[in-house]
């Protein structure tokens, strides 16, 4: 006690700082805080400007080199600011809802070009944006009547594909379910027993059965593959192939879909697949089935 905490000199008994030293320190702290706020504001404004340039570039058909020339005066040698703007832009592109338009071909091309130009890794984008955008673009391709060619397979698949059949997407650790009637067990005897005479009892109550229940029952888990012609599944105990042109309905679930073939005895068959874009398995199956149905109705020459 007695020494100034700022200059280290004697400040007086029971005192911790000179008033002048404390005022000087407060002014310096206030100046540093103001400078920090000003710097943060400047960074935010620069990121917003870069974001605006990136967002409008596809509509104006601006090449990545032209875009880089526009960005250079704003963030010269500040790739971190460009990365922040790119993250904000891809977050918007990767929303991936049914009613949100997918990224356009121009936006997809620009994203790849920006990453190549500045040395960014698309897989480093936060919130799985890169994977979500790839799925959105695959759905866009299908909606435009084109079969996506975006999957890079490593190794062989445990399926026998038809000639020229194309694998569109695969989901590992998928679950296969079947719509079944589950018979409830017989309800055990319940009631009261009253002795009438020796060896003779009067029973109230009796046996009963709980109502049967119908719903999806997990059957197996394994690899789910969607091609341009079929839905394929390979599990530990069951493998199957469902031709897309034989399906009459596709229903959506949170992380999967259920299909039904056009036969009188057909039951719903479900597939559950976790994905970074929860609605992607259903959208993929729906659009592939639509294209298969349209192809089947086209006259052959």
Q: pLDDT of 258-281, one tens digit each? A: 999 877 777 899 999 999 988 899
**Mean pLDDT within 75-101:** 83
User: Are 167 and 229 within one domain?
Assistant: yes
Claim to verify: residue 164 and residue 116 sit in the same structural domain:
no
Whether the predicted pLDDT of 295 surpasses 80: yes
pLDDT at residue number 248: 92
Closest CA to 78 of 49, 43, 110, 113: 43
102: its two tokens: 């997918």
Q: Which of residues 120, 143, 166 is at a domain's end?
A: 143
Residues 81 and 168 in one domain: no
Residue range of the domain that includes 242: 154-180+218-301
Residues 171 and 95 placed together within one structural domain of the fold: no
Q: Do both 164 and 95 map to the same domain?
A: no
- Per the structure, how many domains does the chain have? 2
Same domain (yes/no): 289, 171:
yes
Are 167 and 295 within one domain? yes
Same domain, 62 and 161: no
* Over residues 120-129, mean pLDDT: 94
| Length of the chain counted residue by residue | 301
C-alpha dist (Å) from residue 190 to 204, 209, 212:
8, 12, 20
Region 150-162 average pLDDT: 87
User: Does 136 lie in the same domain as 263?
Assistant: no
């Amino acid at each position: 006690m007695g020494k100034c905490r700022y200059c280290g000199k004697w400040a007086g008994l029971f005192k911790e700082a000179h008033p002048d030293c404390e005022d000087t320190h407060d002014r310096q702290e206030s100046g540093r805080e103001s400078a920090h706020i000003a710097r943060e504001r400047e960074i935010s404004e620069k990121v917003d400007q870069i974001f605006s340039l990136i967002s409008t570039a596809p509509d104006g058909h601006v090449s990545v080199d032209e875009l880089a020339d526009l960005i250079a005066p704003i963030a010269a040698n500040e790739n971190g600011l460009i990365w922040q703007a790119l993250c904000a832009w891809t977050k918007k592109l990767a929303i991936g809802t049914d009613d949100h338009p997918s990224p356009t071909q121009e936006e997809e091309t620009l994203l790849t070009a920006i990453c190549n130009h500045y040395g960014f890794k698309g897989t480093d984008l936060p919130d799985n944006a890169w994977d979500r955008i790839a799925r959105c673009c695959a759905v866009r391709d299908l909606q435009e009547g084109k079969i996506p060619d975006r999957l890079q397979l490593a190794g062989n698949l445990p399926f026998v594909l038809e000639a020229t059949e194309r694998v569109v997407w695969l989901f590992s650790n998928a679950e296969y379910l079947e719509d079944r009637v589950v018979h409830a067990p017989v309800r055990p005897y319940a009631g009261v027993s009253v002795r009438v005479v020796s060896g003779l009892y009067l029973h109230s109550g009796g046996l009963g059965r709980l109502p049967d229940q119908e719903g999806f029952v997990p059957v197996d888990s394994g690899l789910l593959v969607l091609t341009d012609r079929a839905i394929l599944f390979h599990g530990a105990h069951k493998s199957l192939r469902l031709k897309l042109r034989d399906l009459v309905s596709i229903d959506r679930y949170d992380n999967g879909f259920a299909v039904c073939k056009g036969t009188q005895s057909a039951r719903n068959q479900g597939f559950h697949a976790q994905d970074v874009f929860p609605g992607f398995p259903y959208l993929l199956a729906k659009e592939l089935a639509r294209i298969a149905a349209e192809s089947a109705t086209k006259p052959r020459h």
